Structure 1
Amino acid sequence: MVTRSWLFDAMIYMYALSLLFYFADFASANRNAKRMGTGLLLFVWVLQTAYLGVNLYGHLTEWAFSRSDVLFMFSWLIVTISLIVNRFFRIELFVFFVNVLGFAILALNVFGNPQLTPIKSSWNINDELLFIHITLAIGSYAAFSIAAIFSGMYLFLHRMLKEKKFSQTVMRLPSLEKIEQYTYLAVIIGAPLLLLALSLGIVWVVLQGDRNLLYDPKVVNSFFVLAAYGFYLFQHHSMRISGNRLAAWNLAAFLIVVINFVISNFLSGFHDWIWS
């Protein structure tokens, strides 16, 4: 029986969106973001529960579960536990990371199930996995690019104000505080998008069965990118360093993004399609 496709697509995309809201709440204690993330995650749980109930009903006469059934129940259990923790405890970081795991398991289940058909007849199921992976990665690069532009504006404005050069250009720029907020917001969006893209990339590698792909230069450098922006967020929250140094670090992190996008693609064994 074909059990595809809009139900699982809805689960994947809503799961990813809920994680973005959860990360925004963790990064800036945004109660509205937490409510949105919880609502989306709850809807994912309802869809999973409905599908799981129908699936279990089909097993009433035979208690033989496939790998797909086991993975789906595991993913459902992770979502259930995270919702309970979110309701009775204030451990946002735990909820975020446990759901990154749940997201990866759900993706492995969906895209590793031979009974599922892709949304386009000309695709195979790995094409759809790569489509979502690439979409998330491009979104993260776009967010990091915007953050880098704002950081450049911050450094320019900081220098002009320090030298007391109040030109028309300077007067038309937002305040340093506003620019720093916009930079931070862009990184908050880009970092979890890249994390989700990497989790789907790992799922793709697992389905390919070639673990050596994890040592590909672009894959390795992508983790350096994630670490660089993770350290930016850590500095913003815990170290309380000046906005000038934060902006400089953000530009340095974006340099790693450029290296990842340009140089690594010439060395990568399976990302060279970008230049074809």
Structure 2
Amino acid sequence: MFELWMVRLPEIVIVIYALSIMLYFIDFIDQNQKVNRLAFWLLSIVWILQTIFLFLYMLQTGRFPVLTLFEGLYFYAWVLITLSLTIHKIMKVDFTVFFTNIVGFSIMAIHAFAPIQRPSELMADQLVSELLFIHITMAILSYGAFTLSFVFSALYLFQYKLLKEKKGLKRLWRLSDLAKLEKMSFVLNVIGVPILLLSLILGLLWGYIKLTYIQWYDPKIIGSFILLFIYSIILYLRGKKELFGRKLAIWNTAAFLIVLINFFLVSRLSSFHIWHY
């Protein structure tokens, strides 16, 4: 019975998740507040079911589920829903949940149809380290912050286009003003950069302690430091007032593409990160 629940629960989540996204899309097109509220509650149910699955998985495996890409995808999707629901309740910025969870649903779909990956006993023994767990968890949390930052930048570009073309004015009041969208994007980057930095420090510290030698030329290490460098440059230029507005939003959108490349592609090229196997 327990195993059946572990199989069926993600399938139920995907169905409810899809219904929620569809309702958010209807609200996006038709500005229907009743539909928006229903979509929000369905998404809340998705979050509850995801949290239950996460808890059951932890009971079954006896550890925090971040050791494989399969597990990391699920946790990433859970982080996105958690952050989007929290920011929506605090900031009341419409469409944030919709655009964020398009990304979240895509990740959940990849997770649902990906083959289940179970770490071998040797791998599990090697990875049983609080340093590594914290390293991976913080890395995913930083990716969650960068994802939401990208969403706010995308909303900025969308609203900028509407204002310039004087179209879709009915939606403008629901998107919040450009300054607020830019500020939220910046704040999320401010949160994500130090978390990613600490994650890299802990990861290297774990490698120094556990491994015979560290391959500094490994694609994952190089990719992660490039990602940190790019977002740090964006923060620096924003702080110096040399990068702002539409140009900042475009830079931030481009930087998020590197997040996706680093998470999905570079991890598979890495010999240092056995997490992805």
TM range (shorter): 0.5 to 0.7
Q: Structure 2 matches for 1:126-165, cutoff 5 A?
A: 126-165=128-167
Separation in 2, partners of 1:139, 1:241? 25
Contact in 2 for aligned 1:151/1:251 (Cα 8 Å):
yes
Cα distance in 2 for residues equivalent to 1:264 and 1:272:
12
CA-CA distance at 1:272 after TM superposition: 4.5
- Residue 210 of structure 1 and its aligned partner are, at CA, apart by 3.4
Among 191, 194, 213, which residue is 1:192 paired with?
Answer: 194
**In structure 2, do the counterparts of structure 1 residues 207 and 272 end up closer, same or farther at CA, with 3 Å as the change threshold?**
closer
What is the rounded CA distance, in whole Å, between the counterparts of 2:126 and 2:260 in structure 1? Answer: 31
Name the CA shift for 1:210/1:243 in 2 (closer, same or farther; >3 Å).
farther
Q: Residue 214 of structure 1: SS of its match in structure 2? A: coil
Mapped partners of 1:154, 1:239: distance in 2 = 18
Identity, % of aligned positions: 44
- Larger Rg belongs to: 1
Question: Structure 2 matches for 1:121-270, cutoff 5 A?
Answer: 126-270=128-272
Matches of 1:241 and 1:262, distance apart in 2:
29
Q: Shift of residue 174 of structure 1?
A: 0.7
CA contact (8 A) 1:205 1:214 kept: no
Once the 2 structures are TM-superposed, how far is the Cα of residue 170 of structure 1 from its aligned partner? 2.5
| Distance in structure 2 (CA, Å) of the matches to 1:265 and 1:189 | 23
Matches of 1:268 and 1:125 in 2, distance apart? 16
User: Structure 1 residues 252-261 or 209-218, which shifts more?
Assistant: 209-218
Aligned-partner residue type, residue 240 of structure 1 = E
Q: Tell me how far 1:128 sits from its aligned partner.
A: 1.4
Give, as a single letter, the amino acid of the residue that structure 2 aligns with 1:142.
G
2:166 partner SS: coil
CA–CA separation in structure 1 for the residues paired with 2:270 and 2:142? 20
Local SS of the residue matching 2:216: helix
> 2:260 & 2:230 partners in 1: Cα distance?
13
TM-score normalised according to structure 1 size: 0.52
Structure 1 gap segments, 5+ residues each: 1-121
User: For residues 180-222 of structure 1, what are the alpha-carbon distances to aligned partners after superposition, in whole Å with 9 as ceiling and x for unaligned?
Assistant: 1110110011000000000001101111243333321111100
What is residue 42 of structure 1 aligned with on the other side?
none
Q: For 2:182 and 2:204, how far apart are their aligned partners in 1?
A: 33
CA distance in 1, matches of 2:253, 2:166: 24
C-alpha separation between the residues in 2 aligned to 1:125 and 1:165?
A: 53
Distance 1:202 1:211 in 2: 11
**8 Å CA contact retained: 1:144, 1:190:** yes
* Map 1:7-22 → 2, pairs under 5 A: none
Contact 1:202 1:214 in 2 (8 A): no
* Change beyond 3 A, Cα 1:243–1:249: same
Q: TM-score, normalised by structure 2?
A: 0.52
Unmatched runs of 5 consecutive residues or more in structure 2: 1-123
In 2: Cα distance, 1:148 partner to 1:230 partner = 15
Question: How far, CA to CA, are the matches of 2:271 and 2:150 in structure 1?
Answer: 28
* Partner Cα separation in structure 2 for residue 221 and residue 205 of structure 1: 17
2:135–2:203 Cα contact (<8 Å) kept: yes
Q: After the TM superposition, which residues 36-51 of structure 1 pair with which residues of structure 2 at under 5 Å, given as runs?
A: none
Residue 251 of structure 1 and its aligned partner are, at CA, apart by 0.9
Secondary structure of residue in 2 paired with 1:212: coil
